Structure 1
Amino acid sequence: MKEQIRVPVVLMRGGTSKAVFLAQKDVPADLQVRHRFLLALFGSPDIRQIDGLGGADILTSKCAIIGPPTHPDADIDYTFTQIGIDQPTVSYEIVCGNISSATAVYALQEKLVPVQEPITTVRVHNTNTGKILRMKVQCADGEPLVEGDCEVDGVPGTGAEVALDYSGTSGGATGRLLPTGQAQDKVHVPRLGREVSVSIVDVGTVCVFIRAADLGVTGTELPGRLDPDIHDIAEEIRRWAAERCKLDAALTPFQILIGPPQDYQNNAGDRVVKASEVDLVARMVIKDGVMHKAFPGGGSVCLSVAAQIPGTIPAEARGRHASPARIRIGHPSGVLGIYAHVEQAAEGEWTVREVHFTRTARRLFDGTAYIRRRLLEEN
């Protein structure tokens, strides 16, 4: 085994994503060595990630690094990393709401936080944003529950509910809920030869919202069904929004196509989601023809808030903007409901009073991973 390094790992599902969980003490402190370590662990770059733990999908090529708290109001530190699949990239841009839900369960199972029954609140310091996330985990017999009646579209069956409070994440990337100060902005898109309207909002994860109809689509399309040009146009808009917000980012803002409530077939092909079940439809599209198969947790927080700010593209698609409200997002796998309470101060600034959603999470595997030592050596 001299040619390989042993690393303790835990595989967790959080919502509609999976991630490799690592203890901070087991991860190299030097950033360049850490990048090589994570790429080797996941088997990247390789479209199949066949020589590592990656799942060859953006929803499963994720890593959570958990360590002792460096914030006085937190119980643990959580660093999220998105690992490139066919590219040797390690990104710290986003928080990942789905995987966030698993951090609290992990912390309780690893005895990093004492269990309190029937509900334990875990305060998670997300180092990507510097914000505190609060999770409420159902517990019994000294450990987190697995079984329950909480359903998450895109996850088979039901499980014990994990409630996530993202109220403190407003302006995490840009410093402002509306980074440009406007509910809508105009961007010239060279591929279209004209301007389109967008809304940029920063809470949970900074997103740029685009009317699906402005790109000639409905917003009900499923993964693999959009013309590649749509992905390229959305990427042009994302880059413009990143520059506008002074973000040196490869993944954010998330580019989200928005449409009004409509009937559509879900990605599994076993259900027709009715217009009456949703307040709007949304699709997260990425360059290279990729679409999120469900909907990102951080993006859902951002969308639920945006839908309650008059003048934004999500609010227009919803058709009203009364707050507080539970916003029902129609995504490729089904429906996701997010509760948010947004208020406007006398001087016009918008404030997020409350925003939360529920996920399910559980441990799938724990054991030892083996990393080729030579891959950690500098090329």
Structure 2
Amino acid sequence: MTQTKIPFLFMRGGTSRGPYFNRADLPQDRETLAQVLIAAVGSGHALNIDGIGGGNAVTTKVAMLSQSQDDWADIDYFFAQVSVEDKQVDFKPTCGNILSGVGPAAIEMGLMPATGATTTIKILAVNTGARVIATVQTGPDGVAYVGATAIDGVPGTAAPVQLQFMDTVGGATGAFLPTGNLRDTFNGIEVTCMDVAMPMVIARADAFGLTGYETAAELNENRDFFAAMEAVRIQAGEAMGITDVASSVTPKFGLLAPARDGGTVAARYFMPWTAHPTMAVTGAQCLASCVLTPESVASGLAHLPNENPAKITLEHASGLIDVLVDYEINAGGIVLKSAGLVRTARLLACGDVMVPREIWSAQNENSYTG
């Protein structure tokens, strides 16, 4: 059978994993691109048995990189969320965990040179317009992956990747509070609709009769909760100006509860049709911003730090994640300047992924007969 081979890197970025491609090696039109990514990941089967996905939404993510034409950025990062089972691709959101691997991948692909003990890469997240500065550990042999930094949700330690997020407000909807309100009520559930790094609908866990300390597995088994949450998410998403909410992963959903393990607040994040096993980097920024915003649904849940930038520690389903938020509060509300996080990444494999030629022939030397 004749197939088309596409060069790729297989990387863990933060607590997510997936293929990283050079955008030039993929079809340019979105419809064909979506079909290529579905075939590569193996969407359409719970185990992604006919592709390289891992049977979970955190392992069916795709990063596509190119040298940027933007005056500020070095690298353009185009993200795709491929569904596990229903053969859909969502190009609306971005992913901060996968972004953790963008700097290392850009160097590995030769899109960016290593410059010394550390290499600073300016990344434009083209899905949302966010600007991110990534600092990657490098050396004479290129990217350094070995280090002493641990992140909850990933075994062992690795070299740190420092991320500084800017221009994260209103990337998807154009507004910090897309509905214009600090609080809205849908189906009797009070929520805050917020767009910081990722558009989200945020509620208190007890509004759904939950503690907020449930494991991801316990939440995934609670289908009554998911049905109630999805009804609220769809109504809230439409109020936020987001189209096709029922078939899109945006807005995401988050739950908050008082901290119990030394953090600032307990949080659970949804992708949205399953519970995230840890915490999304983008979602962490939005949830931290909600915690800092007076009169949001988070008000009264946490003892806030007095310093600025403020470290907000979210207790998620697998541990903790720290978000360092540089902000100010004025008469108009909260003004976010930037958010910083530390993640890790690792190159797991590299080579060519095969897709059936009837999906994309590439019309170039990438065809492979086997």
User: Does the pair score TM above 0.5?
Assistant: yes
What is the distance in 2 between the residues matched to 1:165 and 1:315?
26
Partner of 2:69: 70
Give the TM-score normalised by structure 2.
0.92
Q: Report whether the alignment pairs 1:203 with 2:173.
A: no
* Residue type of the alignment partner of 1:26: D
Aligned length: 355
Give the TM-score normalised by structure 1.
0.90
CA-CA distance at 1:45 after TM superposition: 1.3
Matches within 5 A, 1:99-118: 99-118=98-117
Q: Report whether the alignment pairs 1:282 with 2:245.
A: no
Q: Is the 8 A contact 1:13 1:364 kept in 2?
A: yes
CA-CA distance at 1:61 after TM superposition: 0.4
Matches within 5 A, 1:284-299: 284-286=269-271, 288=273, 290-299=274-283
Q: Report whether the alignment pairs 1:240 with 2:239.
A: no
What is the distance in 2 between the residues matched to 1:362 and 1:204?
23
CA-CA distance at 1:167 after TM superposition: 2.3
Which runs of no fewer than 5 residues in structure 1 stay unpaired?
190-194, 263-274
Matches within 5 A, 1:140-289: 140-187=139-186, 189=187, 195-226=188-219, 227-248=222-243, 249=245, 250-262=248-260, 275=261, 277-286=262-271, 288=273
Q: Is the 8 A contact 1:122 1:136 kept in 2?
A: yes
What is the distance in 1 between the residues matched to 2:259 and 2:24?
47
Greater alpha carbon shift after TM alignment, 44-53 vs 355-364? 44-53
* Match for residue 327 of structure 1 among 300, 305, 312: 312
Which runs of no fewer than 5 residues in structure 2 stay unpaired?
362-370
What is the distance in 1 between the residues matched to 2:305 and 2:201?
18
Superposed CA offset, 1:147-187 (max 9, x none): 11211000001111111111221111111222223322222
Superposed CA offset, 1:86-113 (max 9, x none): 1110101211010001001111222212
Q: Is the 8 A contact 1:310 1:316 kept in 2?
A: no
What is the distance in 2 between the residues matched to 1:338 and 1:33?
37
What is the distance in 1 between the residues matched to 2:327 and 2:177?
12
CA-CA distance at 1:118 after TM superposition: 2.3
What is the distance in 2 between the residues matched to 1:158 and 1:283?
24
What is the distance in 1 between the residues matched to 2:183 and 2:226?
21
Q: Percent identity?
A: 31
Superposed CA offset, 1:280-333 (max 9, x none): 111113565x21100111000111122111111234321447453111111111
Q: Is the 8 A contact 2:133 2:164 kept in 1?
A: yes
CA-CA distance at 1:376 after TM superposition: 4.3
Superposed CA offset, 1:209-228 (max 9, x none): 11100110011111221321
Matches within 5 A, 1:81-96: 81-96=80-95
